[in-house]
């Protein structure tokens, strides 16, 4: 296939795409040990836009050695928290300075609309680094008064130290490539860790550009290393590496389980942000205009490629037809197209593999008896485009209700009353997020308490902030991203006891 760049992309980005895309190891951009590369595609055209170095286990070894040296002996552990904070803040500033370029890269590589990439992905990434820069100087332990029954006449001074966990392997997904890199890198750098980061093979371009900005910010060599490559090779090598102290992964629950198994060799610490099949509950006393628009946005934002997407829509029986009709009308009128088209509201899916996965679920859902009140098929054009879809008359045993589709497909079901909805909402292996729409705040609070989910949005959906912890219950993961809770993923607690 020929390499192409959309005409709307400026010359500066075309130059970036045409330059060799290498691995960042110990402050240098290098070819992979094998010399192999792989193609990166524009999902809107199914055309190759770049070739990227294919890192494998030998490259991971070199990156881990560089990160190990930077953590054990380099300038990073000797640097004051204040100095680290300034460098991390600088990354945020550089992201904001290059916001247009980074948003264009996300649109080209991932497919999402440029306006959304700039307003959400890039802005939140910059904010994440700034937020974590502030925490770098505020990591502190406690003093603990001791009462030792077998030494009542002796006096002790005891305290805890919070220390960086060490070398961290970070494996990020393709749905929010730049933002997920920020979610991972921000707390790791704030706590003083060093990193080997692997972006998704489908969307490596913004991570490569971020690596250049990390260098421009003045982060010392070896502190951030970037290995592009495939999950089965580079990702697996990171997860099992004996000199990596912790691995952080965002992706599917199936791969998360593989990460856990791979980490058992040296019992490295693991945090996981995994899949979801989030319930979105609309009561009959809700503001229907708000709820219908919110339910549509909850599933169609980012082409439905959101782990917390409101993909199970529960509507109280008396308003079921009205809500389904309203969400369906929005779906039918969404402008689906190339992310560089200013009119586009929903872009293509990220890859041919994802396109086949989503269309396979659509076929299975329709064959199982669900009815498409909007969408239900792919679009007959180049690229990986699928219609925004509303499936009504769905039931709990259908795969489209039980399994994560990760596409613009919502299954709508009705419920009778407040007493049954919590069990229906919790009838899932996942527990990442939930939405509740009602004017009755007491009712909303009771359901929020009852739902087994890491985040519950009430009369809103997909509200994210660097200060708000995000993560899952059940098979949606271990640990939390964002907020000061994320720092604990990268810290160890040391107790010190001194006899006075």
- Does 497 participate in catalysis according to the annotation? no
Joined together, the tokens standing for residue 388 give 């925004």
Choose, from 56, 201, 307, 481, the residue flagged as catalytic. 307
How many residues comprise the chain? 500
3-state SS class at 195: strand
- Does 273 participate in catalysis according to the annotation? yes
Joined together, the tokens standing for residue 24 give 């960042």
Whether the CB-CB separation of 48 and 40 falls below 8 Å is answered with yes
Contacts of 146 (CB under 8 A, 6+ apart): 156, 158, 497
Crossing angle of helices 288-300 and 320-333, rounded to 10°: 50
Q: How far is CA 181 from the centre of its chain?
A: 8
469 vs 474: CA distance, rounded Å: 16
In angstroms, the Cα distances linking 397 to 137, 320, 357, 365, 430 are 50, 20, 19, 11, 15
- Which DSSP string do the residues of 120-184 spell out, in sequence order? IIIHHHHHHHHHHHHHTT-----EE----TT-TT--EEEEEEEEE--EEEEE--SSSHHHHHHHH
In angstroms, the Cα distances linking 227 to 25, 26, 467 are 8, 11, 29
Choose, from 54, 106, 201, 273, the residue flagged as catalytic. 273
> What are the residue numbers of the active site?
273, 307
């Amino acid at each position: 296939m020929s390499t192409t760049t959309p005409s709307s992309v400026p010359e500066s980005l075309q130059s970036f795409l045409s330059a060799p895309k290498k691995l960042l190891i110990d402050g240098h951009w290098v070819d992979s040990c094998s010399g192999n590369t792989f193609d990166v595609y524009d999902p809107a055209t199914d055309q190759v836009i770049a070739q990227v170095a294919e890192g494998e286990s030998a490259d991971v070894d070199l990156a881990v050695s560089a990160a190990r040296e930077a953590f054990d002996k380099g300038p990073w552990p000797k640097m004051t928290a204040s100095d680290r904070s300034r460098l991390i803040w600088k990354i945020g500033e550089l992201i904001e300075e290059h916001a247009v370029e980074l948003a264009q890269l996300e649109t080209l590589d991932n497919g999402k609309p440029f306006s959304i990439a700039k307003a959400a992905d890039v802005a939140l990434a910059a904010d994440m680094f700034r937020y974590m820069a502030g925490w770098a100087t505020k990591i502190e332990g406690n003093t603990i008064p001791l009462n030792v029954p077998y030494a009542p006449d002796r006096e002790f001074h005891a305290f805890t130290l919070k220390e960086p966990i060490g070398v961290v392997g970070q494996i990020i997904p393709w749905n929010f490539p730049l933002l997920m890199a920020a979610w991972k890198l921000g707390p790791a750098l704030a706590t003083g860790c060093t990193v080997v980061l692997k972006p998704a093979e489908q969307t490596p371009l913004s991570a490569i550009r971020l690596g250049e900005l990390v260098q421009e910010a003045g982060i010392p060599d070896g502190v951030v290393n970037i290995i592009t490559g495939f999950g089965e090779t580079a990702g697996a090598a990171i997860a099992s590496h004996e000199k990596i102290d912790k691995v952080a992964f965002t992706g599917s629950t199936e791969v998360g389980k593989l990460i856990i198994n791979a980490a058992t060799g040296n019992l490295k610490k693991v945090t996981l942000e995994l899949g979801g099949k989030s319930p979105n509950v609309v009561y009959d006393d809700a503001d229907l205009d708000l709820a219908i628009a919110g339910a549509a946005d909850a599933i169609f934002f980012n082409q439905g490629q959101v782990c917390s997407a409101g993909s199970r829509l529960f509507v109280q029986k008396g308003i079921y037809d009205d809500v389904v009709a309203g969400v369906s009308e929005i779906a039918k009128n969404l402008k689906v197209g190339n992310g560089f088209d200013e009119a586009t509201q929903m872009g293509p899916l990220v890859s041919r593999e994802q396109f086949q996965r989503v269309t396979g679920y659509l076929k299975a859902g329709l064959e199982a008896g669900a009815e498409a009140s909007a969408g239900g098929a792919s679009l007959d054009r180049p690229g990986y485009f699928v219609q925004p879809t509303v499936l009504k008359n769905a039931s709990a045993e259908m795969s489209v209700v039980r399994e994560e589709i990760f596409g613009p497909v919502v299954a709508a079901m009705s419920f009778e009353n407040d007493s049954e909805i919590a069990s229906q909402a919790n009838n899932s292996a996942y527990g990442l997020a939930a939405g509740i729409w009602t004017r009755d705040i007491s009712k909303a609070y009771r359901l929020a308490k009852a739902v087994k989910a890491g985040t519950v949005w009430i009369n809103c959906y997909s509200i994210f902030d660097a200060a708000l912890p995000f993560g899952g219950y059940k098979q949606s993961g271990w640990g939390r991203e964002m907020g000061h809770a994320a720092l604990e993923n990268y810290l160890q607690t040391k107790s010190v006891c001194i006899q006075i």
